Amino acid sequence: MELKNAMLELIRRASTDLSPDVEAAIKQAYDREDEGTAAKNVFGTIIENIGLAREASTPICQDTGSVIMYIDLPVGAAEKPYKEAAEAAAMEATKLQYLRPNAVDPITGKNSGNNVGVNAPYIHFHQWEKDEVRVRLMLKGGGSENVGAQYKLPDTPLHAGRDLKGVKKVVIDAVVKAQGQGCAPGTIGVGIGGDRVTSYALSKEQFFRKLGEPSSNPDLAALEKELYEDLNKLGIGPMGFGGKTTCLGVNIGAQHRHPATFYVAISYTCWAYRRKQMIIKGSEVTYD
Amino acid sequence: MIKLTTPISEETARSLKVGDEVLLSGIIVTARDAAHKLMIEEKPDFPREYMKNGAIYHCGPVVKKHEDGSYSFVAAGPTTSTREEPYQAAVCEEYSVRAVIGKGGMGPLTMEGLKKVGAVYLHAVGGAGSLIAKRVKKVKTVFKLEEFGTPEAFWVCEVEDFPCVVTMDSHGGSLHKEIAEKSGKVAKELMGL
């Protein structure tokens, strides 16, 4: 089944081959650290690991994450074949050790053993006007997922009000609370507005953007830059060992909110920031 | 760089200080949430011979099973250690563990345990799954694989030059506490608090 193989290849690439924008940001971080520091050595190990994983086609990190897919379909296309292909690809990828079995039944505690279960893989389907299919895949590790946070403004202890200044404060708070736990340096996705559910969703979707590509909204672009600079003043460094790079990038999205609510969701992804996409047009598949 | 080989004596463990960079060789045993819970609730004997004066590794590896029934690690970086905070000190004492390997550091309970037992916390590079797997030379045996699943099983392995940094020592030193305090101060300034 061709679609399954294309999805398997997408998973293999995401798990074993870090994207060029992320790798470049890590190399810059290595260059910034002083010789002889633990931070420099950590970045050296990380860079060596990225090369080894790519060369041997083995997972960059043993926590190959939760499989999260965003699939954009042309008008009239059925979702079912894509869901089935995604499940079959996840099973196959587990057999081939591109994925660790990471789907656990919370009631029985039993690991399904093949990454397939209720809402696993998790797939968001969207319709779009193009005559091609886009599959975007994120493999998000559990350690970095655990340090995500959602705030409700105003936040009294932080003196964070219902404006972008307030947003800035809660993002700093979340990153300082995360310390090295989410495998710093992290990339920070922020979702402003929406409800409890959609604020987290928006924060995570920010990870499909490329590092260094600013928001199209000038206010958000300015906040991204400011936060990137401030977060790197925290001195948490790689793994929380101390150092000059605490975050690789900040991507912010905003959506309208209910007048009574003001949520800010912060998603954190580890340095092993794994996401890839593929476009299927007719019989042709291209990966990025 | 300090070369450290299991079995590790109490004296050697106590000589290590926060900031020391270590290359560990010898026997390590992976153990995470289900394993720690079991070691506290049932105190099984099977890990004793491997853990005495040895190292526990907080890790849920990606493992390949070969045709002859043997196993090898494909990716094996550390997992977040704080989940074992309620158990770690007691496990170190019960099994005479000299080194706990993981990521993210641990809290005051573990700190007290390290002081009492004479042990260290070694921080591995989180996410360096492929690199660390290469330093795992042999998977000797596995316990509780069927019951706990691959990530949670006790994998006993032989490692060579596994790179780590001492971030908590037996003298009460913790790099994590130090960095948390410093970064907390900077954060307050940035937030104008």
pLDDT in tens, A133-160: 999 999 999 999 999 999 999 999 999 9
Q: Where are the alpha helices (DSSP H) in A74-217?
A: 80-95, 142-146, 164-178, 196-205
Residue type, B56: I
Is the CB of residue A63 less than 8 Å from the CB of residue A183?
no
Cβ contacts (< 8 Å) between A173 and chain B: which residues? 187, 191
Q: Inter-chain contact A233–B126, Cβ cutoff 8 Å?
A: no
pTM of the model: 0.94
How far B174 CA sits from the closest chain A CA (Å)? 11
Q: Residue range B109-124: average pLDDT?
A: 97
Between helix A80-95 and helix A2-16 the angle, nearest 10°, is: 50
Q: Domain holding B143: CATH number?
A: 3.20.130.10
**Count of H helices and E strands in chain A?**
8, 9
The CATH 3.30.1330 portion of chain A extends over 2-13+60-141+274-287
Task: Pick the residue from chain A with its C-alpha nearest to B133.
Answer: A62
Chain B residues whose beta carbon lies within 8 Å of the beta carbon of residue A187: none
Closest-CA distance of chain B to residue A234, Å: 5
* Residues of B known to be catalytic: 36
Give which of A89, A88, A242 is closest to A180, Cα–Cα. A242
| Chain A residues within an 8 Å CB radius of B153 | none
Report residue B183's pLDDT band, with 50, 70 and 90 as the boundaries.
Answer: very high
Please state the domain count of chain B: 1
Q: Flag whether pLDDT at B30 surpasses 60.
A: yes
When pLDDT is averaged across residues B87-100 and rounded to a whole number, the result is 98
| Cβ contact B77–A169 (<8 Å) | no
Looking at residue A109, its pLDDT comes to 87
Instruction: Report the residue from B77, B149, B152 with minimal CB separation from A62.
Output: B77
Helices (H), chain B: 10-15, 33-41, 48-51, 88-95, 108-117, 129-135, 145-148, 175-191
Sequence-distant (≥ 6) Cβ neighbours of residue A54 within 8 angstroms: A16, A17, A18
The CATH code belonging to domain A2-13+60-141+274-287 is: 3.30.1330
Q: Does the beta-carbon distance from B183 to A63 stay under 8 Å?
A: no
82-121 of A, contacting B, C-beta below 8 A: 97, 99-102, 104, 110-111, 113
Q: Which helix (H) or strand (E) holds A284?
A: strand A284-287
A233 interfacial to chain B (CB closer than 8 Å): yes
Rg over CA atoms, chain B: 17
Average pLDDT (A111-120) is 96
3-state secondary structure of B145: helix
- Residue A1 scores a pLDDT above 60: no
How far apart, in Å, are the Cα atoms of B125 and each of A2, A63, A104, B163?
37, 13, 25, 8
B168 and B175 Cβ atoms separated by less than 8 Å: yes
Give the residue numbers spanning the domain of B101.
Answer: 2-191
- Are B60 and A63 a contacting pair at CB < 8 A? yes
- Convert the pLDDT of each residue in A80-102 to its tens digit: 999 999 999 999 999 999 999 99
Contacts of A55 (CB under 8 A, 6+ apart): none
Q: What percent of chain A is modeled with pLDDT above 70?
A: 100
Rounded to the nearest angstrom, the gap between the alpha carbon of residue B176 and the centroid of all alpha carbons in its chain is: 15
Establish if A227 touches chain B: CB-CB under 8 angstroms. Answer: no
Confidence of residue B77 (pLDDT cuts 50, 70, 90): very high
Residue A162 has pLDDT above 80, yes or no: yes
Nearest to B179 among A146, A240, A271 (CB): A240
For all residues of chain A together, what is the average pLDDT? 97
Cα–Cα distance, A227 to A152 (Å, whole number): 19
**Mean pLDDT across A157-170:** 98
| AA identity, residue B75 | A
Interstrand relation of A284-287 and B71-75 (parallel, antiparallel or unpaired):
unpaired
Chain B contact present for A132, CB below 8 A: no
